[in-house]
């Protein structure tokens, strides 16, 4: 959930299973709770909404992916992070989950490796056989007990972690963007879960200049790198789900032109450099009313309802960044409002901040073979849900999103001999 920087960008995956089938729920969002004025109260609100989803769906396997874990002021926020982890592992709402794996990239002093990503996986006591892949030994190992891995994750064989090179986003002196990959086998079905955080728009003004924006191109490059990495020749290919904070944005130039069709534009420049610092769009009539003000970190539109009305459906035509990967990634239809940037004021759970154009930053995407798993579930039992969490509650600047679906035993095996993950290693 990919936000409060309990979890900055943030993703949940839930899976529940019986002897005959298994059900997965994946959730993604950005979530900056730890950097807020009342982190403890906001954390309680966030966990309450999360537990409600757990209670409603009763999953047997949950995957929670977090980005900007701890927030930008990571060192000062560590005590809140620790409380959040302890609460998740020990709360009554989670008491039926007797196995867990937690991976926290906490080594914020390492500029070369630090990603601020956190991945949580919870297994229900009724789920008898689940295995996790050891990338170094190239073997599946049965999951038992609860284990937490923190500080640096480079030496942990049960995952792959990479931070994107600095030259991907040179204007950011110290970016924490990257990904963590784990591989699982449930009911003889093997799949990868990839926690991802892509680059943001550094300036609304720069994003407005071209269509698509320069930042869209940077995200395209980074996501392409991740997809190439997880399907290379080092390991057997399996279905994969990529979820977290993609920082996908609406095509800014097209959005502004649509919202301000009948407006005239005023350009404000800095006196010393002549650099454009502000754009003001005014109605041609109606006393020249200001419709939109655009600055580097300001997107102040006169009517926020356009982003909430009918869940912002009218704006989906400007959500174009995923189209580049149409043959490699699939997403269910979006039926929830833009997930970012919500107000971090606990009293304004439905209000967007005037910093960025609202967009669906937090997504759950899947490979073509994973799509078949999900749609097969939908056709058989109609249990697929793709939605957001906490629509009326402050969850940080990102709203978590989740995907729930069922899988049948062996559903992910293209051939009977491929996966042998039910042999304890």
Evaluate whether 74 touches 131 at the Cβ level (below 8 Å): no
- pLDDT tens per residue across all 425 residues of the chain: 433 223 333 444 443 333 335 667 777 655 444 444 566 778 888 999 999 999 998 888 899 999 987 666 667 777 778 888 999 999 999 999 999 999 999 888 787 888 989 999 999 998 888 999 999 999 999 999 999 998 779 999 999 999 998 888 877 766 889 999 999 998 788 999 999 999 999 999 999 999 999 999 999 999 999 999 999 999 999 999 999 999 999 999 999 999 999 899 999 999 999 999 999 999 988 788 999 999 999 999 999 999 999 999 999 999 999 999 999 999 999 999 999 999 988 889 999 999 999 999 999 999 999 998 887 755 555 578 999 999 999 998 999 999 988 876 666 554 433 444 443 33
Q: Any alpha helices (H) in 231-283, and if so which ranges?
A: 252-259
Sequence-distant (≥ 6) Cβ neighbours of residue 43 within 8 angstroms: 4, 6, 33, 34, 80, 83, 84, 87
pLDDT at site 413: 56
The bridge status of strand 61-66 relative to strand 22-30 is parallel
pLDDT at site 32: 44
Evaluate whether 92 touches 64 at the Cβ level (below 8 Å): no
Instruction: Report which DSSP code applies to 286.
Output: G
Which H/E stretch holds residue 306? helix 305-308
Asked: is 22-249+303-407 a CATH 3.40.190.10 domain? The reply is: no
Backbone angles phi, psi at 148, to 5 degrees: -120, 130
Tell me how far apart the terminal alpha carbons of the chain are, to the nearest angstrom: 33
pLDDT at site 22: 60
Task: Take residue 149 and report the two structure tokens written for it.
Answer: 């891995």
Q: Alpha carbon 231 to chain centroid distance?
A: 20
Q: Domain ranges in the chain?
A: 22-249+303-407
The tally of CA atoms less than 13 A away on the side-chain side of residue 314 is 9
| pTM exceeds 0.85, yes or no | yes
Round to whole Å and give the CA distance between 412 and 185: 9
């Amino acid at each position: 959930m990919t936000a409060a920087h309990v979890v900055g960008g943030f993703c949940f995956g839930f899976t529940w299973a019986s002897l005959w089938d298994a059900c997965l729920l994946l959730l993604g969002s950005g979530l900056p709770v730890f950097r807020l004025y009342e982190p403890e109260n906001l954390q309680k609100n966030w966990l309450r909404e999360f537990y409600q989803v757990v209670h409603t769906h009763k999953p047997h396997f949950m995957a929670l992916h977090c980005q900007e874990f701890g927030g930008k002021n990571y060192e000062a926020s560590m005590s809140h992070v620790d409380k959040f982890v302890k609460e998740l592992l020990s709360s009554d709402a989670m008491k039926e989950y007797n196995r867990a794996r937690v991976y926290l990239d906490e080594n914020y002093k390492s500029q070369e490796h630090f990603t601020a990503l956190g991945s949580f996986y919870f297994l229900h006591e009724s789920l008898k056989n689940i295995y996790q892949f050891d990338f170094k030994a190239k073997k599946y190992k049965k999951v038992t007990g609860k284990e937490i891995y923190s500080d640096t994750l480079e030496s942990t064989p049960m995952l792959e972690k990479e931070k994107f090179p600095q030259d991907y986003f040179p204007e950011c002196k110290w970016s924490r963007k990257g990904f963590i990959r784990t591989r699982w086998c449930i009911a003889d079905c093997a799949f990868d879960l990839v926690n991802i955080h892509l680059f943001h728009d550094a300036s609304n003004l720069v994003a407005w200049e071209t269509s698509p924006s320069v930042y869209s191109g940077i995200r395209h490059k980074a996501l392409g790198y991740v997809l190439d990495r997880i399907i290379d020749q080092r390991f057997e290919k399996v279905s994969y789900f990529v979820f977290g904070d993609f920082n996908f944005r609406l095509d800014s130039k097209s959005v502004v032109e649509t919202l301000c069709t009948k407006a005239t534009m005023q350009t404000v420049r800095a006196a010393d450099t002549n650099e454009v610092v502000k754009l003001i769009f005014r109605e041609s009539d109606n006393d020249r009313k200001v419709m939109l003000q655009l600055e580097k970190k300001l997107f102040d539109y006169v009517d926020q309802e356009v982003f909430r009305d009918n869940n912002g459906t009218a704006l989906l035509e400007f959500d174009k960044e995923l189209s580049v990967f149409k043959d490699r990634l699939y997403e269910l239809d979006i039926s929830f409002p833009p997930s970012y940037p919500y107000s971090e004021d606990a009293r304004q759970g439905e209000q967007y901040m005037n910093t960025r154009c609202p967009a669906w930053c937090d997504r759950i995407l899947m490979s073509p073979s994973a799509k078949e798993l999900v749609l097969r579930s939908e056709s058989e039992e109609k249990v697929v849900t793709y939605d957001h969490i906490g629509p009326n509650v402050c969850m940080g600047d990102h709203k978590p999103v989740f995907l729930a679906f069922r899988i049948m035993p062996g559903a992910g095996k293209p051939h009977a001999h491929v996966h042998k993950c039910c042999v304890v290693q």
